[in-house]
Amino acid sequence: LTMDPPKHTKMRALVNKAFTPKAIKQLEDKIKDLTHDLLNQVKDQRTFDIVQDLAAPLPVMIIAELLGAEVQDRELIKKHSDALVAGAKDESKEAIQAVVDMQKRAEEELSIYFAHLIKKRKETPADDLISLLIQAEIDGERLTENELLGFCILLLVAGNETTTNLITNAVRLLTEQPHIAESVRLDPSLIPQLTEET
């Protein structure tokens, strides 16, 4: 976020390797499975909260998967990721300071978690983004530990917030404009266009 070209361009190019259409296509089944799992948890309920039950947990689960985090660590990662993007309940100095302190603790906890995962991947590479970033070079230099940690936290937070909003806004659009929902229901080939427009 605070880096300028040409280094920013080169570092962005590294991460983009994990988000090529081919790489995302390989994740498609996993995304579908996780989505079905989340929806199955609420299918017998009369109502559910689209944000809490689907839109908020799904992106973190996918990003954690991309980074190579353990399945059992998703809740922890989600909790800290949410803390990093939290806002103060009011504009009092105390409320703002409480959020700043919470965000600082969350960043420290995520740094510890990802430092451990980076160490593990240096010893035993896997088919994940962290392993890819560890092996990557920019102008003949590998990323530093701080750059690796920064990437992990940035991807986690940026992907969490934006994708949660995308899912939520899409559902809101479909509920507020039922003719669009009906068009998509009758012609599922419109789903990619709906997603892009949202």
Q: What is the CATH number of domain 6-158?
A: 1.10.630.10
**Please, which pLDDT band fits residue 91 given cuts at 50, 70 and 90?**
confident
- Written as one string, the DSSP assignment of 79-113 is HHHHHHT---SSS-HHHHHHHHHHHHHHHHHHHHH
**Please, which pLDDT band fits residue 92 given cuts at 50, 70 and 90?**
confident
Write out pLDDT tens, residues 96-144.
898 899 999 999 999 999 999 999 999 999 988 899 888 887 778 788 8
Write out pLDDT tens, residues 132-185.
888 887 778 788 899 889 889 888 888 788 889 999 999 999 999 999 999 999
Q: Rounded to a whole number, what is the distance in angstroms from the first to the last CA of the chain?
A: 24
Domain ranges of the chain: 6-158
